[in-house]
């Protein structure tokens, strides 16, 4: 038996191979940026849904900024930044305890900050 005969026995030349019908299963091709956005949305949103004491410093800072933006809408940007810095400094120095911040873990938002 020759090499060509062996190949013809293993893989017939004229056999029609059915293709998957692409109209039934259209793949959604996402760009790199869209993939990254989906990943970040799924990961970061879940990170905010923890107890306040379990949040990292970066996530706490993010939640404080969001709280200040929502509660002080009529204030200027400089005033908002000053309040955020003041709260962060109080947290870092230990003058503002974790218990002084009322945080809703289900919503991922600060409800109130004692003294503000």
The pLDDT tens digits along the chain (116 residues) read 676 676 566 665 656 566 665 555 567 788 888 888 888 777 655 688 889 998 888 898 899 999 999 988 888 989 999 999 999 898 889 888 888 899 999 888 999 988 87
SS3 labels along 58-79: HHHHHHHHHHHHHHCCCCCHHH
Task: Report the pLDDT value the prediction gives residue 21, as an integer from 0 to 100.
Answer: 57
Q: Specify if 108 maps to a domain.
A: yes
CB 45 within 8 A of CB 108: yes
Closest CA to 111 of 76, 73, 77, 64: 64
Q: Specify if 42 maps to a domain.
A: no
Closest CA to 61 of 41, 90, 37, 36: 90
Count of domains forming the chain: 1
Range of 82's domain?
A: 51-116
Q: Specify if 59 maps to a domain.
A: yes
Predicted TM-score (pTM) of the model is: 0.58
Q: Specify if 81 maps to a domain.
A: yes
SS3 22: coil
Q: Specify if 38 maps to a domain.
A: no
Q: Specify if 35 maps to a domain.
A: no
């Amino acid at each position: 038996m020759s090499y060509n005969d062996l190949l013809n026995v293993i893989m017939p030349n004229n056999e029609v191979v059915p293709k998957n019908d692409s109209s039934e299963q259209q793949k959604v091709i996402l760009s790199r940026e869209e993939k990254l956005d989906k990943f970040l949305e799924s990961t970061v949103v879940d990170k905010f849904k923890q107890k306040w004491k379990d949040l990292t410093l970066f996530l706490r800072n993010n939640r404080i900024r969001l709280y200040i933006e929502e509660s002080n809408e009529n204030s200027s940007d400089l005033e908002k930044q000053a309040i955020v810095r003041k709260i962060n400094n109080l947290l870092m120095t230990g003058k503002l305890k974790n218990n002084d911040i009322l945080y809703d873990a289900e919503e991922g938002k600060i409800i109130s900050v004692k003294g503000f």
